[in-house]
Structure 1
Amino acid sequence: MDNTVLLNIYKYVIEKGDMGICVVDTEGKLLIYNKKMRELEGVNETEFEERRALEIIDFEIEKSDIYKVLNSGMPMLNVKKTYWNKKDQEVTYISNIYPLHNDGILVGAVEFARDITQLEFMMYQPLRRYGASLTFDIITAVSAVMKDVIEKAKIVALSRMPVVLIGESGTGIDMIAEGIHHDLKMKNDMFIGLICRRDEKTVLKQFEKYIIDKEKITFFAERIEYLSMEAQEKIVELFENHPNHHHVLIASVGKDPIDLIQQQQLSKKLYRLFSGITIYVPPLRERKEDIMPFIDDYLKRHRDSFGSAIQGLSDEVKETFLKYDWPGNLKELEVLLDEISPLITNEIIIDSHMLPAHFKWKMQSSNDKGIDETSDLFVIKNQHDIRPLENYMKEVEEYYISKALDFHQGNISKTAAALGIRRQSLQYRVKNYNLNKKSENID
């Protein structure tokens, strides 16, 4: 095979692959910028070639790390970037950047970018949208405390006053924020959700963009305490320089804002900007009467989407769900139902054999909440309890290691000695079984 054919193959692979590829030489001249990288930037091939011909290609965000590698000659691995591209789309990818050498001489750098936008989106969405706008009408909560939350939120929508929502992740705070937006009497043009735990430069740019360009925006700044104090002060300055009574300001924090101010995690000026009123959204463990309505709604959607006959939970599973504390709140419940969902075929109820092993172990370790520590996780009661031997043995090993870590307060060395295995071997298993929280006292 001659070099021309090989070159064409290489070009085809580079252009058709699902990995973004960017190559520059030592002078910063762009050599390769494949289709996936152009998609991440938000330009089509024609636009890209026109801009390259006019030498106006803007790699403001994308190029910074690749030029660092050019300057240092050292690779940069697992670099995570979140930014808004030319199509005004939020994009997140993880890249590895390497220096390129020829006969020991640096000739350029290459960046390989893996698009994780959808994965990142799912990670930070407290509850699924189901393809519909989140209004107060679709919130399934029936508890008195949540009805009070919704009533206060409706007052916010009526008055358009700024509000701070206080609560843990996964409680449905973003549903309340979006519900306020859709309940406004004088409708706003857009609902802008800004996740402050991400790159704060991106957050600040979005605040500035919409404050200047748009007249009626509902801003929802999720977990504003994750921003640096400098960034928080910058947001206050932006709103002071561009006052607009049509905007609606909503923010969320994870705990008491007064404590956050005292701990210098929250700017007093920023808190005043958002805090016309504060609303506390309680965790699921304080309103367990909201569990079954949420499950009933989930199962109804399952019936509608897949034509299943599933109706509810067995008495045993229902009792288990009502005893559990749900530290991840409604989001944890939704993820658990997502894990169970593929097992539903012609079942009418969700029985205990359908619960994932990791959830059963959580129940076993919750003895302080009155849950039976002697639950027979590995006892075979009927044919539904039979699973592949390899899966069974992995579950036994994970359970055994989990309990050993508990007995040794997460100490890796002591646990490894007790199990009769090498420390490195235990660390591998801890990582493989996602037991890192149990091994916080690694020595």
Structure 2
Amino acid sequence: MDNNVLQSIYKYVIEKGDMGICVVDTEGKLLIYNKKMRELEGVNEDEFEERRALEIIDFEIEKSDIYKVLNSETPVLNVKKTYWNKKNQEVTYISNIYPLHYEGILVGAVEFARDITQLEYMMYQPLRRYGAPLTFDIITAVSAVMKDVIEKAKIVALSRMPVVLIGESGTGIDMVAEGIHHDLKVQNDMFIALICRRDEKTVLKQFEKYIVEKERITFFAERIEYLSLEAQEKIVELFNNHPNHQHVLIASVGKDPIDLIQKQELSKKLYRLFSGITIYVPPLRDRKEDIMPFIDDYFKRHRDSFGSSIQGLSDEVRETFLKYDWPGNLKELEVLLDEITSLITNETIVEPHMLPVHFKWKIQSACEEIEKEASTSDLFVIKNQQDIRPLDVYMKEVEEYYISKALDFHQGNISKTAAALGIRRQSLQYRVKNYKLNKKSENID
């Protein structure tokens, strides 16, 4: 096929694909920046042409993940980024960045960005209320850790002290927050959820409006670390300016608040304001005994609301659900059950063939990852005579594995890894390049 035709095909595929692609050379000059990447960054055609003329990427090169890859020649994988782009749109994507080599020499880096904005938005939505006030009695959790969470939350409700809830999205933190509100001995007038991942000006206006209108409000600031430090301290100022109130303050964060303070993502003043007590809500993967009670309750509500006959899961599906790690926690499980029940007619049991294809792919991918880890861990185990290899081959395999793990722990940073291994940076770079050259690959990997 003619080279011009091939180039036209390549260009078409790159531009029409739903994966953002950015390619730079070793100097950070922009080579490829496809339509999807421009959409993610909120860059219009004029801005793109101006940027391409300057031949530089949008981020400060020294601070970007692409620069890390160019510096370390090691991939940076599965980095989730959430930010407001140039069109003031909230965007979340997962990025994989790889070094590009030609005939063993570094020539640049490529970033592939998968847009998960809608998925992330869906996962951050609160668990369904079923049209009723969400009290602690509605929470179906049976695990010891969640019973402890609820007991602590009841103490908060009794004392009306401020609280910080710590945990991943989708774990049911919003249920705990509303449960506290409904368990107050002296009831508040309103429950106001401040979604801090949204426009912070709107959040501040809500807070400023309601703090002066009512004397008793339960404020739930969801993922408060997403606000800028300036906005966080504005909330402290507003609260201190209205001391004569009976408000209850609840905030949630996704990570250890002390770490967030050290990273300057959480105001120390705001943390002091909210942290009369802290409660950690564990992810679903650490309390899998809560999965089946949640499912049983879901199916009961579905039968009551829609007159369906659905009763439960087959043994195979149940085992699959209990083995899966549920990165989206209870919200991911609820969304999956929504999808399954939307297609049922008179079925009583959920069978494997009723699971959505995308979920089967995730299960398969998770199993392959486990098998890969298992095979890697067995790499150096001698079980029989056939496992014996020449000593120099064995030692090279051990060294390569050890270096690759050290690089993983230091996010591909050559200098830090070399220091940890007690060798010179140049020596480590030589070993890394040597292993890459010895691997079967194309000219560009």
What interval of TM-score do these two structures reach, taking the shorter chain for normalisation? 0.5 to 0.7
Alpha-carbon deviation of 1:251?
0.2
Distance in 2 of aligned mates of 1:329 and 1:122: 12
| Residue of structure 1 equivalent to 2:54 | none
Equivalences for 1:84-99 in 2 at 5 Å? none
Whether the 8 Å CA contact 1:363–1:371 is kept in 2: the answer is no
| Residue of structure 2 equivalent to 1:185 | 185
Alpha-carbon deviation of 1:154?
0.2
Alpha-carbon deviation of 1:345?
1.1
Matched, 1:211 2:211: yes
**Distance verdict in 2 for CA 1:124–1:364, change over 3 Å:** closer
The one-letter code of the counterpart of 1:283 is P
SS at match of 1:366: helix
Equivalences for 1:76-91 in 2 at 5 Å? none
Matched, 1:367 2:367: yes
Matched, 1:348 2:348: yes
Distance in 2 of aligned mates of 1:337 and 1:367: 21
Whether the 8 Å CA contact 2:123–2:169 is kept in 1: the answer is no
> Structure 2 length normalisation: TM-score?
0.56
| Residue of structure 1 equivalent to 2:164 | 164
Whether the 8 Å CA contact 1:161–1:249 is kept in 2: the answer is yes
The one-letter code of the counterpart of 1:253 is V
Distance in 1 of aligned mates of 2:123 and 2:187: 29
| Residue of structure 2 equivalent to 1:259 | 259
Matched, 1:274 2:302: no
Equivalences for 1:49-128 in 2 at 5 Å? 124-128=124-128
Whether the 8 Å CA contact 2:124–2:169 is kept in 1: the answer is no
Distance in 1 of aligned mates of 2:88 and 2:140: 39
1:201-221, Cα deviation, whole Å (9 max, x unpaired): 110111111111110000000
The one-letter code of the counterpart of 2:145 is V
SS at match of 2:192: strand
Alpha-carbon deviation of 1:343?
2.1
1:233-271, Cα deviation, whole Å (9 max, x unpaired): 111111111113410000000010000000000000000
Distance in 2 of aligned mates of 1:120 and 1:80: 14
Whether the 8 Å CA contact 2:140–2:293 is kept in 1: the answer is yes
Alpha-carbon deviation of 1:372?
11
1:298-349, Cα deviation, whole Å (9 max, x unpaired): 1111111121111100000000000000000000000100110122111110
The one-letter code of the counterpart of 2:215 is E
Alpha-carbon deviation of 1:125?
2.0
**Distance verdict in 2 for CA 1:311–1:318, change over 3 Å:** same
Matched, 1:283 2:283: yes
Distance in 2 of aligned mates of 1:239 and 1:274: 11
Whether the 8 Å CA contact 1:223–1:251 is kept in 2: the answer is yes
| Residue of structure 1 equivalent to 2:321 | 321
| Residue of structure 1 equivalent to 2:305 | 305
Distance in 1 of aligned mates of 2:255 and 2:293: 26
Distance in 1 of aligned mates of 2:136 and 2:372: 38
**Distance verdict in 2 for CA 1:334–1:372, change over 3 Å:** farther
Distance in 1 of aligned mates of 2:240 and 2:314: 56
SS at match of 2:141: coil
Q: Which runs of 4+ in 1 moved over 3 A?
A: 76-81, 119-124, 368-373
Equivalences for 1:344-423 in 2 at 5 Å? 344-367=344-367
Distance in 2 of aligned mates of 1:372 and 1:137: 43
Alpha-carbon deviation of 1:367?
2.4
Distance in 2 of aligned mates of 1:209 and 1:219: 12
**Distance verdict in 2 for CA 1:135–1:236, change over 3 Å:** same
**Distance verdict in 2 for CA 1:121–1:178, change over 3 Å:** farther
Distance in 1 of aligned mates of 2:267 and 2:348: 52
The structure with higher relative contact order (CA 8 Å, sep 6+) is 2
The one-letter code of the counterpart of 1:235 is I
Identical-pair percentage: 85
SS at match of 1:293: helix
1:74-128, Cα deviation, whole Å (9 max, x unpaired): xx997659xxxxxxxxxxxxxxxxxxxxxxxxxxxxxxxxxxxxx9996642311
Whether the 8 Å CA contact 1:323–1:371 is kept in 2: the answer is no
* Count, aligned residues: 263
Query: 5+ residue gaps in structure 1?
Result: 1-75, 82-118, 374-442
The one-letter code of the counterpart of 2:136 is F
**Distance verdict in 2 for CA 1:176–1:135, change over 3 Å:** same
Distance in 1 of aligned mates of 2:256 and 2:264: 13
The one-letter code of the counterpart of 1:157 is A
SS at match of 2:220: strand
SS at match of 1:197: coil
**Distance verdict in 2 for CA 1:349–1:324, change over 3 Å:** same
Alpha-carbon deviation of 1:188?
0.3
Whether the 8 Å CA contact 1:222–1:251 is kept in 2: the answer is yes
The one-letter code of the counterpart of 1:167 is G
Distance in 2 of aligned mates of 1:289 and 1:230: 41
Distance in 2 of aligned mates of 1:339 and 1:210: 37
1:377-428, Cα deviation, whole Å (9 max, x unpaired): xxxxxxxxxxxxxxxxxxxxxxxxxxxxxxxxxxxxxxxxxxxxxxxxxxxx
**Distance verdict in 2 for CA 1:229–1:372, change over 3 Å:** closer
Whether the 8 Å CA contact 2:157–2:180 is kept in 1: the answer is yes
Matched, 1:141 2:141: yes
Alpha-carbon deviation of 1:366?
1.2
Distance in 1 of aligned mates of 2:311 and 2:123: 28
| Residue of structure 2 equivalent to 1:296 | 296
SS at match of 1:343: coil
Distance in 2 of aligned mates of 1:186 and 1:263: 38
SS at match of 1:221: strand
The one-letter code of the counterpart of 2:250 is I
SS at match of 2:342: helix
| Residue of structure 2 equivalent to 1:336 | 336
Alpha-carbon deviation of 1:369?
7.3
Whether the 8 Å CA contact 1:167–1:280 is kept in 2: the answer is yes
The one-letter code of the counterpart of 1:188 is N
Whether the 8 Å CA contact 2:123–2:331 is kept in 1: the answer is no
1:281-303, Cα deviation, whole Å (9 max, x unpaired): 00000000000000001111111
Q: Which moved more, 1:125-134 or 1:345-354?
A: 125-134
Distance in 2 of aligned mates of 1:182 and 1:318: 33
Please give the root-mean-square deviation of Cα atoms over the aligned residues, in Å: 2.5
Whether the 8 Å CA contact 2:123–2:332 is kept in 1: the answer is no
